Amino acid sequence: MTTRWGGAYTPGMNLSRRNLMLAGAGALAAGVTSEMIIGVPASAAGVVDYPGAQWVPASTSNYTVSNRPSSYPLNVVVIHVTQEFYPDALAIFQDPARKVSAHYVVRSGDGHIAQTVREKNIAWHAGNWDYNTRSIGIEHEGWVDQPQWFTDQLYTASAALTRSICNRYGIPKDRSHIIGHIEVPGSTHTDPGPNWDWTRYMRLVNS
């Protein structure tokens, strides 16, 4: 298991998100308990942007409050892979010391989706402030070198989410606007990696 997000971050810095996360065990050791990542059903929260998502809010220390798309245009969806188990990634987003977040996390086994940051706000996920301001970040449970994590359920659920985002903000459903973290300028990351099936994913997004 690789080391993930941890360390200091300020919104204007081009920092590696992979360097901004510690392993999930470290997050839990820091005091983020399992009870903190249960979240609440979307119907009870009343705040999710994507129907059916579960609201599991990130710490307010881990994103920038905004009013997109009025404050910044939204024209990119960035695809990530957590390099963590689903609950550990959520726990890290809820730890105010981590200074990292994404808008959504998709669970591998069943495609369940958690929303952790409102789409109008700026999640700290891309490692590039310009891209943070104009993108939605979607994390996927798994590891880049273990393709078994990229299940049918994960692809289907994520593609439906991306399709919804693109439809709502007028984002073209193509590979110039739906990109991997590796494609963010200045990125040092490889996710979603060579095992991510872009042909299949884009077909699903456009179905």
The number of C-alpha atoms within 13 Å of 105 and in the hemisphere containing its C-beta is 32
Range of the domain at 91: 54-206
119, 139, 141, 183: which is the annotated catalytic residue?
Answer: 139
pLDDT of residue 92: 97
**CATH code, domain with 121:** 3.40.80.10
Residue 126 falls within a domain, yes or no?
yes
Angstrom distance (rounded) from CA 64 to CA 74 = 15
Active site residue 139: yes
Beta carbons of 201 and 159 less than 8 angstroms apart: yes
Closest C-alpha to 179, from 202, 147, 145: 202
Residue 46 falls within a domain, yes or no?
no
Q: How many domains does the chain have?
A: 1
Angstrom distance (rounded) from CA 180 to CA 157 = 17
Q: Is the peptide bond before 69 cis (omega within 30 degrees of 0)?
A: yes
Residue 48 falls within a domain, yes or no?
no
Residue 37 falls within a domain, yes or no?
no
Angstrom distance (rounded) from CA 47 to CA 34 = 22
Write the CB contacts of 7 (distance below 8 Å, at least 6 apart in sequence): 15, 19, 20, 99
Full DSSP string of 155-189 = HHHHHHHHHHHHHHHT--SSTTTEEEGGGSTT---
Task: For residue 151, give the 3-state DSSP assignment.
Answer: coil
Instruction: Give pLDDT tens digits along the chain (207 positions).
Output: 333 443 333 333 333 344 334 334 343 434 444 444 556 655 455 689 999 999 999 999 999 999 999 999 999 999 999 999 999 999 999 999 999 999 999 999 999 999 999 999 999 999 999 999 999 999 999 999 999 999 999 999 999 999 999 999 999 999 999 999 999 999 889 999 999 999 999 999 999
Residue 67 falls within a domain, yes or no?
yes
